Structures are given as structure tokens and as C-alpha cells.
Amino acid sequence: MIARLMTATSAIALMAGTATAENFNRIASFMVAENAPDAEESSAEIIAATADGMTLVYTDSPAGIVGFIDLSDPSAPAAAGAIVLNGEPTSVSVMGNTAYVGENTSESYTQPSGVLHAIDVQGRDVLATCDLGGQPDSVAVSPDGSFVAVAIENERDEDLGDGRVGQMPAGYLTITQTSDAGLDCASTMMVDLTGLADVAPEDPEPEFVSINGEGEIVVTLQENNHIVVVAPAGEVLNHFSAGEVTLEGVDTTEEGALVFEDTITVVREPDAVTWIDNTHFATANEGDMDGGSRGWTIFSQDGEVVFDAGMSFERAIIEIGHYPEERSGNKGVEPESVTFGSFGGTPMLFVGAERSSIVGVYDVSDPANPVLTQLLPSGIGPEGYAVIEDRGLLISANETDDAGPRAHVMVFEFQDAPAVYPHLTSAGADELIGWGAISGQVMAEDGTIFAVSDSFYGMQPTIFHIDVSETPARIVDAIRITREGQPAQLMDMEGIALDGNGGFWIASEGRSDRLVPHAIYHVGGDGALADYIPLPDALLAVERRFGFEGITRVGDMLYVAVQREWRDDPEGHAKVLGYNLETGEWSVIHYPLTPAETGWVGLSEIVAHGEHIYFIERDNQFGNAATKRITRVPMTAMDGMVALGETPAVLDPEEVVDLLPYLTSTGGYILDKVEGLAIAEDGTMWVSTDNDGVDDHSGETMFFAIPPM
């Protein structure tokens, strides 16, 4: 490395500005597979903490375990083992040092069964087990620790008929008293919830429970779009429909574009619920059969809607690039979880959007006028939360587990510090700008940045104009790429360069199997396609899918970085192509890729600045990433380019920046796709990551500055 740049922490501080206030910032992540190394799949779903806040307990349905995390040092959570169950753990609630865990042991949808365990967290012993008679979902222990309520869902088989309720047997609520032995199983009572809902009253499907300081239990019947309030002794105190809401400015079509123009009226169908005081509770309106309002609601105990988020929560998520376009035809961001806690004397509600992997933080001092104070990045598919008020911690359990980023538990700390996330937003624009999948970048003469989105939004190719003088950086305009006045569809824009006349040169990565060639496009400042440069036959004969990933201009020369080897390249060497705008001649030189420890390594960006050409070189790994770096070669090295068909010279790149410390600076796992680089006149490097359009991705976009060396 030429020089050691400022630390990752201070680099992010540059993004966060100088104003200080109390905020949550992520300080650590824990991969739950560490507690289930032999399981094909592991997941963190519902999570809770012991009274001292030193141990986390979570349910892992795919692995069939209850897992434990040592949180003695919240910045370094550690695996603390697991208890293997015979069935499927569904939910957990903790009082003191005792965890109450629901386990689904059902043979089938028509023969549901399940149990409730009391587990000594410290000794890892099962103290007591009670038969619940049906399939448990949510579990809650009363604030005074005297009883445990369980939602017995007896869920429907979605493959039967139209996949709707009713399907017998009906669900219900159980209430079990605690005891010195853990649980008094003989006290278990079943609370009948049939005949209450307007939707399938014969088949209630309780989804979630929460208990207030007076011992009153609120139960959501998600599929029935109904809410029930139950006394500690089992009496139904009140029940009412969750109602419906009309939403304007909704994207309801999954077409590879972000278009928020539709109006819909949908039932709420709430999932999680939490009391925020003894008379008000909040619901996350995920939806199921018929609805999902893309938001959340505060109800009074008597059924009055005190507040409804409408589209405000989803719009805020859209502005920070976390909108899941592939879920537009379903339920959008899908708020699934709500959790309450008090921090710094402020009552706060935490709303989790499952499909956007975002946690919204609300000040609910006035239940009729909640204030959104933060949006926190989570792992993929946040499912459950725990608050540890005495230690100033918020815990997020994220259930999605795949071959890329594994399922994680994430730790956020309430700090007297600026908010680190988001790094990039479109808030404040004249109209709503949806964005994501940021790829190549270029610095304009005025110090702003132009960035392109890749093929994820292939039906709406866009150049985003970014003001980096603000914190967070702000998208101020979206320039749509058009061909004869219509969206220039099926472009995979991976690189952008200025043409010197107010327009742009765009490198588009091709897919020959889809009849979309690699090409260089000339675009006017208004986004209109003016011309394009196709590949010559000599390159078409050897091209592969992993093609154009970046473009830069030096005078009359365009330089294009090819991501990985093509068919005529030596192993471990990627082409850097040159195109002379004056003569129309192509040339080539090789870039030697760092050998991959796992997966592959390729080029993601090329930028000319001063006397050098800079590259982003990265592997395709997440947590076990080894190569994410910025390199450079002297501008004079490009004099070694040769005509196509000749044997290319090989560049000798030197590392300028190891990006791994920057990519771990926000407490999350390492993001795969570092794809954008723009360099200011003073040498400041702006780096961005591609969030894949929030498709099997947490949606997190890092956009940060590395100061001049």
C-alpha cells in the first residue's frame, strides 16, 4: 500500500458530519451458523435477552435448535452453544434467567401439536415442558413473570384450495402460570377465540401476542384481520377488525422499474404486535391472503386507530434505496415486526421491514404523532428484536440464510454520536426518487457525482446525480436513459464517463445468451441515446458474460475494464480495452487478477485521475472476503496497449487502498459488490457498493469517502 489512509471509523465519521445527537449505530454482527456448524441451514428468528442483558436466546427453526449468544462484550458477540429440540422452535421469551420456548411438534396441518418449554439459560437445562395441544407460534411472558401466553396458530395449508382460512382445527390462545419449577402445566388454560372475526370466524389463526403491565394480552389474528384483547384470567375484554387503508403512490408491478403511481385499498392483516403503554399497542401490517398495508398502526385498547403510517414508512425506505422491486406485486417492504423500548428517557418503537431489511426507529412519546428518527440496516429478512434498555442495546435477528451472506444477529448501540447510516438518500428531491443497484460512478467538474444503476432496473436505466457535499450524500436528480423518447430497455450499465460536452459514455455489460451485446453507449445530458459503439468481430468471437464493468475517458481514448477472463485470455488475466474516438481503433492490455482464495476475482471499475489509472479489484465473497481493493497503474503504462490480435502486455498494478477495513466499519458483514469509484480533483475517493436491487440482499448501500493521500 502506498500510504495508510485514515481509519475506517474516521472515514465513516466524514460521512456522518460533525453534529452530535443520540443515535443507534450497529457495532457488531454474529453469524448464527457458528452455533449450528453441522446444519445445512440455520436461521435467527425470534430473539430475547436475559435480565442482565449478557446472554441472547434465539430460535433457529431450520437447524431445530435454541441458540445462545454471549453478549458480555456487545462489540464481539460469541457463540455460546445450543439446545437441540425434537421439533421446530417457533418463539422465545425470557424472564430473568428462564427462557420460555414454543416448539411445534405437529404431524400435519390437520393434526397439530406443540409444547412449551421452560429452559434454564445458565444451566442449559429444560426445567419443565407443557403440552399445548396445538401448533404454537408467538410466546410472551408477562412483565411480572407470573404467566406465559402462547398464540396457538394451527396454521392453514396454503396448498389446499385457494390457500385460505378456514381450515380446521381452529387456533386459540393458551395461558400457563409459572412456578418455581419453571411452569405449572396443570394451570394451562385454552382461551377460545372462535366466533369473533368477520373473516373465517370459525378458524382463528392467532399470530402474535404481547402482554402489558396490567397483564392484559393483545393477540393478532393475521389471516382473520382481527385483534383480540384478553384479560390475565382468560376473559375476552375486547375485539375488533384491524380494518383497511387506502394507499396512494404505490408500485404494484414487478417490471424492473421503480414507478410509484398506483392507488390500492387493502386490509391490514397485522403480524407482530407490541404494547407501547397500558392502553395503546402497535401492529406491523405485513399482510397475508388479502392485504398488507406496507406500514404499521397504533391502536387504542378499545379499537380506535390512533395513528397509521400509510405510505410514509415505505416512502422513507424507498428514499434510502432499500425498496424491494421484486416484491411490488405482493406486499412491498412487508413490515413484520414491532418491538418497544425506552432509551435515553424516550419511548421508542422499532418497526422491522422484512423484505427491505430495515429497522425503523420511532419516537412514540405522543402515540398520535410518532416521529421517524432513524432507519437502521439489518441482515436479510429481519424477523425478531430484543431491547436491552439498561445496556443501551437493540438486537436484530435476521432469518434469511443462503450461500452468500448467512443469517446474522446484529447489535446496535444507543450512542451519543451521529447516525452512521444511511450513506446515500434521495430525501428532499422535488419528487420521489427510487433507486438501487448503484454501479459505476464519475466525478463531475463541480464536485458532484453521476452514478448508474445496473440491469436490475433494466426497464428503467437511470443516471443518478449525487450531491456529496451533504451528509448523507443526496441524490438530487434521476436522468432516465431514453431511445427515441422511450425507456432504453435491457441496458446493463456498469460504467460511466463524461464526454466533455455535457454528455456521457456508458459501458453496458452484455449477455449473449439473451441477445444483449456488450457495448459503449453515447448519451446526452438529458439521457437521450445519441449513438453506440459495438464490439468488433474479434472481440465478439471471444466474449463471455462477465464483460464491461467500468469506463473512463482520457482525451480521445476510452478505456474499458472487462470483469474477468474471456476465452482468449490467459488464466487470471482480464482485458483492459481501449477505443480511440478519433480513429475508431480498438486496443488491449492485460490486468493480472489477484488469485482467488474462494470464488473468483475480477475488475469492477476503472477511473483516470491525474497521472494514474485506478481500478477496483474484488472477489465475489461476503464474510470471508479476501480481495476488495483499489489499485493503480501509471497513465504511461497504457502506452503499452496493442492492437487486437497481438499479444497484450501485462500491467503491474500497485495497491492503493485495502477496502476491507472500510467495509467492516459499520458493524455488518462484508458486502460483496464494491463497484463504484469516483475521484475528486483533490484526490478524495468516493466508493460505493451495489445492493442488487434488494433481491436476496440486505439492501445496504455503502457510499463513503477516502480522503486524499
Over range 468-489, report the average pLDDT: 95
Whether 704 shows a pLDDT value over 50: the answer reads: yes
Q: What is the pLDDT of residue 11?
A: 32
- Give dist(CA 589, CA 571) in Å, integer: 14
Over range 339-345, report the average pLDDT: 97
Sequence-ordered list of residues with C-beta below 8 angstroms from that of 537, at least 6 positions apart, any chain: none
Cα 169 to Cα 225, 277, 672: the distances in Å are 18, 34, 46
For domain 440-706, give the fold: Neuraminidase (2.120.10)
Over range 419-424, report the average pLDDT: 97
Domain boundaries, the chain: 440-706
- 627 alpha carbon, distance to own chain's centre: 23
Band of residue 21 on the pLDDT scale cut at 50, 70, 90? confident
Over range 31-46, report the average pLDDT: 96
Band of residue 545 on the pLDDT scale cut at 50, 70, 90? confident
Whether 15 shows a pLDDT value over 70: the answer reads: no
Over range 7-20, report the average pLDDT: 36
Cα 362 to Cα 352, 388, 505, 559: the distances in Å are 11, 17, 43, 48
Instruction: Report DSSP state, residue 316.
Output: H
3-class SS of residue 274: strand
Over range 500-529, report the average pLDDT: 89
Whether 12 shows a pLDDT value over 70: the answer reads: no
Whether 6 shows a pLDDT value over 50: the answer reads: no
Q: What is the pLDDT of residue 597?
A: 87
- Give dist(CA 494, CA 688) in Å, integer: 12
DSSP H or E stretch at residue 319:
helix 312-319
Band of residue 404 on the pLDDT scale cut at 50, 70, 90? confident
Contact 656, 698 (CB under 8 A): no
Sequence-ordered list of residues with C-beta below 8 angstroms from that of 280, at least 6 positions apart, any chain: 298, 299, 300, 301, 306, 367
Whether 160 shows a pLDDT value over 60: the answer reads: yes
Over range 520-534, report the average pLDDT: 96
Q: What is the mean pLDDT of the chain?
A: 95
Q: Which three cell numbers stand for residue 502?
A: 455535457
Q: Where are the beta strands (DSSP E) in 41-155?
A: 47-49, 55-60, 65-70, 78-84, 88-95, 98-104, 114-120, 125-131, 136-141, 147-152
Count the neighbouring beta carbons within 10 Å of the beta carbon of residue 84.
Answer: 10
Contact 690, 437 (CB under 8 A): yes
Q: What is the pLDDT of residue 541?
A: 92
Backbone phi, psi, residue 87, to 5°: -115, -145
Over range 609-637, report the average pLDDT: 96
Over range 76-90, report the average pLDDT: 97
- Give dist(CA 48, CA 380) in Å, integer: 19
Band of residue 1 on the pLDDT scale cut at 50, 70, 90? very low
Chain length of the chain: 709
Instruction: Report DSSP state, residue 214.
Output: T
Sequence-ordered list of residues with C-beta below 8 angstroms from that of 378, at least 6 positions apart, any chain: 352, 357, 358, 359, 396, 398, 410, 698
Whether 4 shows a pLDDT value over 70: the answer reads: no
Nearest C-alpha neighbor of 141 from the set 74, 212, 196? 212
Whether 115 shows a pLDDT value over 50: the answer reads: yes
pLDDT in tens, 648-685: 999 999 999 999 999 999 999 999 999 999 999 999 99
pLDDT in tens, 281-320: 999 999 999 999 999 999 999 999 999 999 999 999 999 9
Pairing state of beta strands 473-480 and 424-425?
parallel
The alpha carbons of the chain give a radius of gyration, in whole angstroms, of 27
Sequence-ordered list of residues with C-beta below 8 angstroms from that of 102, at least 6 positions apart, any chain: 89, 90, 91, 92, 114, 115, 116, 117, 132, 136, 137, 138, 139, 150
pLDDT in tens, 555-602: 999 999 999 999 999 999 999 999 999 999 999 999 999 999 899 999
Over range 598-607, report the average pLDDT: 97
Whether 403 shows a pLDDT value over 80: the answer reads: no
- Give dist(CA 151, CA 131) in Å, integer: 13
Whether 174 shows a pLDDT value over 90: the answer reads: yes
DSSP string computed for 644-666: TTSPPPB---EEEEE-HHHHTTT
Over range 517-546, report the average pLDDT: 93
Whether 5 shows a pLDDT value over 80: the answer reads: no
